[in-house]
Each structure stands twice: as C-alpha cells, then as structure tokens.
C-alpha cells in the first residue's frame, strides 16, 4: 500500500472541507456536519451501495478483487464478497436485490434473496461485453449500464483481453423480457450514469473525452435522444461516478489534483455550486442512512461520509 493520504478531521463546525461555490449550495450544507473517514485500506475504492434494511454499506475494492461491508451500528468493516470478479459499480433494483458490474466476469449480475447469482447481461449480439462499469435501475425495472474496456486493458482491475465490442456503448436490459439493447454508441468510454429525479434525463460521464464531460440525454421510453453536454470539464478535472438528489443536483466523484480531489456538486443546469474536499480522488458516491441524507464517498484508498441537507433519489 502507498502512504496513507493525510487526513485531518475538522475539530470545528462548519467543516472547512465543505465549500459553497454558489450561494444556492448553502441550503444543502449542514453546518453541524463534518466529513468523516470511515475506513482506510483499499487500493481503488468504487461502486458504493446502501442497504438500509441491514444498515450497511457495500463498496468495491477493484484491484483487491473484493467487496467490503461497513456496518452503520458498529463501524466494523468486513469482507462481503471475495473474489468479486473485480466488481465495480453497484445498485439495487426496486425489489431490493443487489445489481453488480463485474470487470473480471465481464457481465452484470443480480444477487437473489437466497444468495444465488443471476447473470443479467454478458453478451451483446453474440459478442462478450468489455467490462461493465456502472449501473442504475429505472422504476420500470429496466437496468442501464456502461461498458468501457477499463477492466480488460491489463491485469490490475481484471484480466487482459481484446475487446469484442466498441468502448463507446451504453446498454439497457428490459425489466420484463431481459432483452439487451444498445441505447448509446457515441460516448468516448462511458463511465458513471444516473437518472434525473423524474427519470426524464439520463446523465453519463464521458471519461475519455478531452476535457472529460458529463453528458445529458432525454429518455424516450427505451431510447435516448438529444445528446448534449451538461458539464464541460476543465483541465485537471476528472468526473467519475455520481448520484442525484431530490432537487436534481449531481454529486460527482471528482479529482486528479489536490485542488479538485473530492466531490463536486452541480445543479440541474450544470453549474457548479459546491465542493467537498478530500485528501485523495473520489471515484463514486451514494446516498444512505435512514433518510438517504448521508453522502458516502468511495475514494481511492478510503471511505468517507458526511450528512447533507437533502435526500438522494430513491434507487440511487
């Protein structure tokens, strides 16, 4: 492991790590909440998902081929799944089942109530997927996921393979028939994705554009249309995974330099309104806790959290 990122929790309120970039962010900032480090010891933390019924958080440690569990009641951290097939993104469907993207398995899977694993998607038109990265489930039961090749480029986040499909694709799996369809093939290595609160817009990170952008598409049933740039990245900024709150704000894993490491918050118009500074790059986030008002931040080597004055969208 590399040297532990320097971390100094705030001894005062408000926490200076939580910064308003626009006055509108003040309504979401709880002055009596500070950023907490819950765990240190991952190689590349990713894919957090909250399980309210058992009061715990799961998140991926991709290179270590494991999924960890943090318990809200005790703060204990333990293994939830190892090997994990280099699992990355996670979410839950509307029946509470866990959906996972596997780099090593090159598939999207669902964990059933009895512990069985159901393969949701592994091929498209007879060819193997690259390495599914992140996933969301719409209220109609459909599963939407991105498929860049990051897990097959080498042996760090998966197994090296030649791609069989373009590294530009986003897919939808029908919640009733299980049919997989291509919904976008024009994104340079799609990464994190999330729906707006009313599910009329799908946001997707374009992680190999220069600069890196957050795109928005109108959702037309099972199709996407009207591609546009919601957030145009700046040099040194790296958006990754993100989630949306009830007001339509995007809480985005951010980083690649000391000035940007942490979580950047954008309003629905794409304007930056807030930033949560961390001592390392944040890869992905989710909302959890009893009222979905606790933001969990999966960073490179650590797991962080803070309470915010909003709630995450259900299903995120």
pTM of the model: 0.96
Q: Alpha-carbon distance 160 to 103, whole Å?
A: 10
179 annotated ligand binder: no
Buried b (16+ CB within 10 A) or exposed e, 257-289: eeebbbbbbbbbebebbbbbbbbbbbbbbbbbb
Catalytic residue (one of 240, 245, 247, 261): 240
Which of 10, 65, 55 is CA-nearest to residue 35? 10
240 annotated ligand binder: yes
Q: Which pLDDT score, from 0 to 100, does residue 316 have?
A: 63
If you average pLDDT over residues 229-256, what whole number do you get?
Answer: 93
Number of C-beta neighbours around residue 4 at 10 A: 13
Q: Is the pLDDT of residue 296 over 60?
A: yes
Q: Alpha-carbon distance 216 to 263, whole Å?
A: 19
The pLDDT mean for the chain works out to 96
Q: Alpha-carbon distance 62 to 85, whole Å?
A: 9
Number of C-beta neighbours around residue 214 at 10 A: 25
Q: Which carries the bigger pLDDT value, residue 210 or residue 15?
A: 15
Q: Is the pLDDT of residue 31 over 50?
A: yes
72 annotated ligand binder: no
Which of 15, 9, 44 is CA-nearest to residue 280? 44
15 annotated ligand binder: no
pLDDT tens for 133-168 read 999 999 999 999 999 999 999 999 999 999 999 999
Which of 302, 267, 269 is CA-nearest to residue 284? 302
CATH pick for 18-307 out of 2.120.10.30, 3.40.50.1580, 1.10.540.10, 3.30.342.10: 2.120.10.30
pLDDT band at 209 (very low <50, low <70, confident <90, very high): confident
Q: Alpha-carbon distance 219 to 222, whole Å?
A: 7
Q: Where are the domains of the chain?
A: 18-307
Q: In percent, how much of the chain has pLDDT > 70?
A: 98
Q: Which pLDDT score, from 0 to 100, does residue 1 have?
A: 44
Sole residue written with tokens 């998966």: 158
If you average pLDDT over residues 57-82, what whole number do you get?
Answer: 98
Which of 259, 265, 315 is CA-nearest to residue 292? 315
Q: Which pLDDT score, from 0 to 100, does residue 3 have?
A: 55
Q: Is the pLDDT of residue 182 over 90?
A: yes
Rounded to 5 degrees, what are φ and ψ at 51?
-115, 90
Q: Which pLDDT score, from 0 to 100, does residue 211 have?
A: 85
Radius of gyration of the chain (CA): 18
Q: In percent, how much of the chain has pLDDT > 90?
A: 91
Buried b (16+ CB within 10 A) or exposed e, 132-144: bbbbbbbeeebbb
Q: List C-alpha distances in Å: 262 to 44, 253, 304.
A: 14, 6, 10
174 annotated ligand binder: no
Q: Alpha-carbon distance 31 to 57, whole Å?
A: 24
pLDDT tens for 96-120 read 999 999 999 999 999 999 999 999 9
If you average pLDDT over residues 302-308, what whole number do you get?
Answer: 98
Pairing label, strands 272-277, 18-20: antiparallel
Q: Is 240 a catalytic residue?
A: yes
Residues in the chain: 316
């Amino acid at each position: 492991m590399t040297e532990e990122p320097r971390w100094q929790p705030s001894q005062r309120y408000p926490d200076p790590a939580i910064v308003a970039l626009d006055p509108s962010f003040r309504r979401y900032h709880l002055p009596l909440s500070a950023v907490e480090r819950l765990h240190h010891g991952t190689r590349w933390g990713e894919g957090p998902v909250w399980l309210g019924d058992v009061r715990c958080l799961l998140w991926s440690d991709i290179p270590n081929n494991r999924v960890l569990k943090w318990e809200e009641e005790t703060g204990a951290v333990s293994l939830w799944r190892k090997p994990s097939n280099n699992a990355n993104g996670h979410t839950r469907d509307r029946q509470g089942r866990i959906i996972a993207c596997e780099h090593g398995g090159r598939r999207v899977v669902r964990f059933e109530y009895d512990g069985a694993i159901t393969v949701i998607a592994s091929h498209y038109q007879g060819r193997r997927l690259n390495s599914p990265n992140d996933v969301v489930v719409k209220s109609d039961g459909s599963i939407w996921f991105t498929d860049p090749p990051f897990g097959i480029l080498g042996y760090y986040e998966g197994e090296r393979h030649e791609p069989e499909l373009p590294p530009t694709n986003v897919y939808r799996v029908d919640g009733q028939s299980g049919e997989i369809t291509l919904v976008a093939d024009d994104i340079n290595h799609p990464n994190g994705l999330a729906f707006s609160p009313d599910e009329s817009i799908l946001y997707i990170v374009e992680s190999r554009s220069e600069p890196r952008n957050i795109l928005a598409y109108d959702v037309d049933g099972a199709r996407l249309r009207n591609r546009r740039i919601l957030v145009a990245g700046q040099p040194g900024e790296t958006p990754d995974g993100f989630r949306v709150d009830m007001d339509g704000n995007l809480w985005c894993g951010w980083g690649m330099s000391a000035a940007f490491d942490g979580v950047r918050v954008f309003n629905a118009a794409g304007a930056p309104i807030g930033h949560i500074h961390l001592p390392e790059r944040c890869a992905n986030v989710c909302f959890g806790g009893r009222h979905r008002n606790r933001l969990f931040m999966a960073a490179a080597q650590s797991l962080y959290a803070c309470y915010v004055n909003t709630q995450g969208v259900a299903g995120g």
